[in-house]
Structure 1
């Protein structure tokens, strides 16, 4: 069972992949472990800098299938035509939320509809 309280101790760290120092992709990897899902590549060193996140997300999506929002689905967020943020769908109290990590707020769990309103385009992948 997914325990969101675990993520209260997370501190955002650019390129963070080791709990409790995570960035947006680091949260995906950690949540997937907690949900018992197969590991995705760790993309060590990949950040938004120099369009690295956009490039790697697009390349990795070729190995995945686009899906409807569901627990465990990866989330790609677009600003214009570029992937600029990622998250992962989790179920909390019977409702879908997106777990994300940002510099000032660290890990947050936003209701799906509220999260989607923040971006031009949001895609879900498994």
Structure 2
């Protein structure tokens, strides 16, 4: 069962991959680990700089299957035709949320419908 309280101590860190210092991709793998899912590549050092997130996310997505929102699914978020953010679907009390990590706000859990409105397009992958 997913425990959102663990993530209240997370601090956003650009390129962060080691709990409790995580960025948007770092939180995806940390939650996948806690859910007992296969971890995705670490992508150490990859950030949005020089389109690194877009490049690596598209490569990973080519190896995954698109899916409907479900707990543990990765979320690719597009702005201006590029993947500019990633998140993961979590189930809290039977309701699906997007778990994400951002500067200043650190980890947040947002209802999927509300989360999707912030981006031009979102896609879900398993």
Normalising by structure 1, we get a TM-score of 0.99
Cα distance in 2 for partners of 1:31, 1:43 equals 16
Partner of 1:55: 55
Aligned residue for 1:43, secondary structure, equals: coil
Q: Which runs of 5+ in 1 are unaligned?
A: none
Aligned residue for 1:101, secondary structure, equals: strand
Partner of 2:23: 23
Runs of 4+ in 1 over 6 A off after TM superposition: none
Partner of 1:82: 82
Aligned residue for 2:86, secondary structure, equals: strand
Partner of 1:8: 8
Q: Which runs of 5+ in 2 are unaligned?
A: none
Partner of 1:123: 123
Task: Give 1:63 deviation, angstroms.
Answer: 0.6
Task: Give 1:93 deviation, angstroms.
Answer: 1.1
Task: Give 1:89 deviation, angstroms.
Answer: 0.1
1:102 equivalent in alignment to 2:96:
no
CA RMSD after TM alignment: 0.4
Normalising by structure 2, we get a TM-score of 0.99
Aligned residue for 1:107, secondary structure, equals: strand
